[in-house]
Amino acid sequence: MNEKNKLFIFSTLGMAIILFWLITASKCSDQNSMSQGIISKEKTITNYERFCAGCHGMFMERFSGDDREKLFNTPLKDMVQVIAEGDLESGMPAFKGTFTQEEIESLSRYILTDIKESSKTHNYQPTLASVQKSEKLTFQIDTVVTGLDIPWGMTWLPDGDMLVTERNGQIFRFRNGVFIATIEGVPSVYANGQGGLLDIRLHPQYAQNGWIYIAYSTLGTEGPSAGGNTAIMRARLSNNKLVDQQVLFKATPDSRAGVHFGCRMVFGNDGYLYFSVGDRGYMQNAQLLTNHAGKIHRITDDGKIPADNPFVNTPGAMPSIYSYGHRNPQGLVKHPQTGVLWSHEHGPKGGDEINIIRKGLNYGWPEISFGINYNGTIITPDTAKIGMEQPVYYWTPSIGACGMTIVTGNRYKGWENNILSGSLSFRYLVRTEIEGEKTTHHEILLPQIGRVRNVEMGPDGFIYVAVETPGLIVRLIPID
In terms of Cβ atoms closer than 10 Å to its own Cβ (0-12, 13-18, 19+), residue 30 is: middle
Residues 279-304: b if buried by 16+ CB within 10 A, e if exposed: bbbbbebbbbbebbbbbbbbbebeee
- Report which residue type is found at 139: F
- Report which residue type is found at 296: I
Distance CA 346, CA 266 (A): 18
How many residues would you count in the chain? 480
Going across the sheet that includes 352-357, the strands are 329-334, 341-345, 352-357, 393-395
Distance CA 459, CA 154 (A): 12
Distance CA 399, CA 233 (A): 30
3-class DSSP assignment, residue 145: strand
Distance CA 449, CA 471 (A): 11
- Told to judge if 344 belongs to the known catalytic residues of this protein, a careful annotator would answer no
Separation in Å, CA 65 to CA 82, 148, 303, 453:
21, 11, 38, 18
Catalytic-role residue among 56, 203, 260, 346 = 260
Number of CB atoms found within 10 A of residue 465's CB: 27
Backbone angles phi, psi at 25, to 5 degrees: -65, -40
The DSSP 8-state label assigned to residue 14 in this structure reads H
* Residues catalogued as catalytic: 260
